[in-house]
């Protein structure tokens, strides 16, 4: 490794990597590189330097390659080394060489280690809960991206952007990303989530909305020796007068396997699913909101012990779903600006998505360090505020002494706690846009056609 690469690696580890000193130490990162058989020559942009540079790029307000390169140049000059070329080509090629498998391994590993640091007393009924949901992301309109992730069929050719589906499993306690799946729009969220069920561990509890509340989903979750708490699918009727009654609007019934296999399942996979399954249906009354009618939802679960997992506990659990899934996805897409990616090739699109997930877990690690100072009330910690504070600290953490680094980091944690979100119970905002759009027409023809018309 060159002297410049060694300096950058140390500065990244002591700044961006400080929250991961015990979660992802340098020794573990090199172990993963060896396990993945990743070798590199004596150059500036080693896999470790490139990885941290990509995470820095995601966290920055200016997400351009040029901005990240200027940051590294400043660090090298301050250390007495020559600045690298201002051309971003070398860094761009290094990003292309970085293994996607490395990023995919780091996301669940950091999430699992972060979760282990949370006291067992904060688990829901002593169980780990994973919440999952799906979203879509746009990307640069290149021919390679269009081939792998085609634009929406309703848009004219050359007038839309390629887009991909992303399904994410979040840890309820830490908020970190546990696992994820990226696929073209031709694959549904349901199929993608069923692929991720294999990442569930025994005794896990999987929670999602009504799109997933079917027999097949519950059976696949149980196959992993986990349990599901899913909002019941709207197409299924409910009659609380039948089955074994636990309490009012709380009973156990027997569900039967569908007659036909889903299109994505083979005959052998479908045959391995049991013919019947006992499930519990519970009607939950969500906390009332002023000016709104009481809202009731029916969840179906494989947690059959009504005395151990009461309706009140299930209500509290389902009440956290919005925060744990919808809000966290909003942070990924809006706060970290993952909604539209700039990569022009499918492999770099996937790398950018995994880097966003990894950077998001890094912020959750910082918030996890601050959580004990707020009695583990993570819902009061601001991810946007954490990102802003952390970005202000990174240049100082990279170039100062160890004593000052520790003082700055302690101040960072204190600031995160002091910048806690205000109490906003049952907050509700109208889904409207105030700012008027620019008075330009929508694109109806490809850009090159429009340019030719202008030149004519």
Q: What is the pLDDT of residue 336?
A: 95
β pairing state of 227-231 and 205-208: parallel
218-244 burial, b if ≥16 CB within 10 A, otherwise e? bbbbbebebbbbbbbbeeeeeebeeee
pTM of the model as a whole: 0.93
Q: What is the pLDDT of residue 154?
A: 86
The confidence score (pLDDT) of residue 370 equals 92
Domain 102-332: assigned CATH number? 3.90.350
Is the separation of the CB atoms in 149 and 349 below 8 Å? yes
**Predicted local confidence at residue 236, as pLDDT:** 86
Helical packing angle, 47-59 and 65-78, nearest 10°: 120
Q: What is the mean pLDDT of each run of 10 residues along the chain (456 residues)?
A: 87 91 85 84 87 95 94 92 90 93 94 90 93 94 94 87 95 94 93 94 93 92 96 89 94 94 92 95 81 77 95 92 88 94 96 97 94 86 94 91 92 92 74 87 87 88
What pLDDT sits at residue 447? 86
Of 138, 155, 230, 159, nearest to 193 (Cα)? 230
Give the pLDDT confidence score for residue 40 in this predicted structure. Answer: 73
Strand partners, 61: none
Q: Spell out the domain ranges in the chain.
A: 3-98+377-410, 102-332
Residue 430: the pLDDT is 81
CB atoms within 10 A of CB 329: 17
Residue 290: the pLDDT is 62
């Amino acid at each position: 490794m060159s002297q410049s690469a060694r300096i950058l690696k140390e500065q990244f580890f002591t700044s961006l990597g400080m929250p991961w000193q015990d979660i992802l130490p340098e020794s573990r990162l090199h172990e993963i590189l060896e396990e993945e058989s990743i070798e590199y020559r004596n150059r500036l942009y080693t896999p470790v330097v490139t990885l941290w540079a990509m995470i820095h790029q995601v966290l920055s307000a200016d997400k351009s390659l040029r901005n990240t390169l200027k940051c590294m140049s400043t660090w090298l000059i301050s250390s007495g080394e020559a600045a690298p070329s201002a051309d971003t080509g070398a860094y761009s090629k290094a990003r292309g060489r970085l293994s996607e498998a490395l990023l995919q391994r780091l996301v669940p590993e950091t999430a699992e280690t972060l979760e282990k640091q949370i006291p067992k007393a904060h688990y829901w009924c002593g169980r780990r809960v994973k919440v999952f949901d799906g979203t879509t992301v746009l990307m640069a309109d290149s021919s390679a991206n269009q081939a792998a992730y085609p634009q929406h069929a309703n848009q004219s050719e050359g007038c839309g952007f390629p887009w991909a589906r992303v399904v994410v499993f979040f840890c309820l306690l830490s908020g970190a990303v546990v696992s994820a799946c990226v696929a073209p729009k031709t694959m549904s969220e349901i199929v993608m989530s069923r692929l991720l069920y294999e990442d569930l561990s025994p005794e896990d509890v999987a929670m999602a909305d009504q799109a997933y509340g079917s027999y097949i989903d519950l059976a696949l979750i149980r196959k992993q020796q986990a349990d599901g708490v899913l909002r019941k699918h709207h197409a299924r009727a409910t009659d609380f007068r039948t089955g074994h009654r636990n309490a009012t609007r709380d009973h156990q019934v027997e569900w039967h396997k569908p007659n036909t296999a889903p299109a994505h399942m083979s005959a052998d996979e479908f045959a391995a699913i049991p013919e019947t399954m006992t499930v519990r249906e519970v009607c939950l009354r969500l906390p009332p909101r002023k000016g709104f009618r009481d809202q009731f939802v029916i969840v179906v679960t494989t947690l059959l012990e009504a005395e151990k997992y009461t309706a009140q506990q299930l209500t509290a659990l389902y009440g956290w779903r919005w925060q744990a899934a919808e809000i966290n996805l909003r942070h990924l897409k809006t706060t970290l600006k993952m909604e539209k990616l700039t990569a022009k090739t499918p492999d770099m699109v996937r790398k950018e998505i995994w880097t966003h997930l990894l950077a998001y877990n890094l912020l959750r690690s910082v918030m996890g360090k601050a959580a004990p100072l707020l009695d583990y009330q993570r819902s009061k910690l601001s991810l946007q505020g954490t990102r802003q504070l952390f970005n202000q600290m990174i240049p100082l953490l990279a170039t100062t002494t160890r004593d000052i680094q520790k003082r700055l980091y302690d101040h960072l944690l204190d600031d995160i706690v002091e910048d806690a979100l205000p109490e906003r119970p049952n907050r509700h905002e109208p889904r409207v846009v105030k700012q008027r759009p620019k008075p330009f027409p929508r694109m109806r023809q490809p850009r090159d056609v429009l340019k030719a018309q202008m030149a004519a």
